Structure 1
Amino acid sequence: MNEENAPVVLPWLDEPRFECFGCSPRNKIGLALKMYRLGDGRLGTDITFSDAYASYPGVVHGGIVSVLVDELMGDLIALDRGLLAFSVTLRTKFLQPLQTGTPYRAVARIVRESGGVVHAEADVLDADGTPHVMANSAYQPISSEQAEGHMGLVGADRERLAHYFDHAIG
């Protein structure tokens, strides 16, 4: 985990209504992920899960691990493509359980765009670079209508964030 990386500031962290479980520092029970760019363009984050995220003693809950990879892939799409998207599929393969108190690095990359969706992959690696989790997902861009209906973004909030919506993917 000694790779050089460049910190990434997520532009939506200052949004007053934004309390994302994955990346918002204002969510008291969330992961508060800090992300960075790797030299090859992938998005990464380092994390050590506390026992608060365990299922069995010492084992990180699989749902929390799925949040980690989904957040990383979704944020990569938002940063690189300038759009917000909902995950429409998420497949997570657990090669080995993640342990609480153990440092991990998660990395994500966009693999293709087709049929109106963006496809991404993510891996969770231990300190030696051994993969513990492999994930892939498809993301559907959010329309301004969905932003209003599902997220309650109206008026000034919707206008301020309008550039993230109504994107078409080939």
Structure 2
Amino acid sequence: MNKKFVLGIYDDEDVLLAAIENIRAAGTKIYDVFSPYPVHGIDDVLGIKRSRLPIVAFFGGLAGMSFALWMQIWMMGFDWPMIIGGKPHIALPSFIPVTFELTVLFSAFSMVIVFFIVSNMKPSLKVNVFDKRSTDDKFVMAIEVKEGATDMEALNNLLRSNGAIEVNEKEVVK
């Protein structure tokens, strides 16, 4: 299935941010914006909601902490109890380093796994680069064109009037 896009090329991030606001205010849905470096505030202007990865990190860390404490209490208290230096079998202060490490490990792994699943990133992923200059020095705004529902001339004029130095059309195989 082929999708058609109109690409607005920008060379200044401030012009791009103003253009995003104006184009969204005009009722045009922006598919995505590609930039050579992170632009501060672009998520808010595009209307992208805050990530829920911190929640995943918290529950992953909670699982890691629970697993570490359960593992150490089971091993040192019930499975193979040893008296080391006269300490009790279940000495929680000595469990802190391992508990901390497994909390961090489970938290990090859970975030990475959930990020890859949500982003649909897999080894066989073929990335469509809309314009190679977006990896170097230009900003690219992609707007999806619906057959028969989008006025191409009006869209081109809208992009140019909002500071686009170049407007292109591209078909992408999805």
Normalising by the smaller structure, the TM-score range is under 0.3
Q: Which one has the bigger helix percentage?
A: 2
Give the TM-score normalised by the residue count of structure 2: 0.24
Give the TM-score normalised by the residue count of structure 1: 0.25
Q: Based on CA coordinates, which of the two structures has the bigger radius of gyration?
A: 2
Higher relative contact order (CA 8 A, sep 6+): 2
Q: Which one has the bigger strand percentage?
A: 1
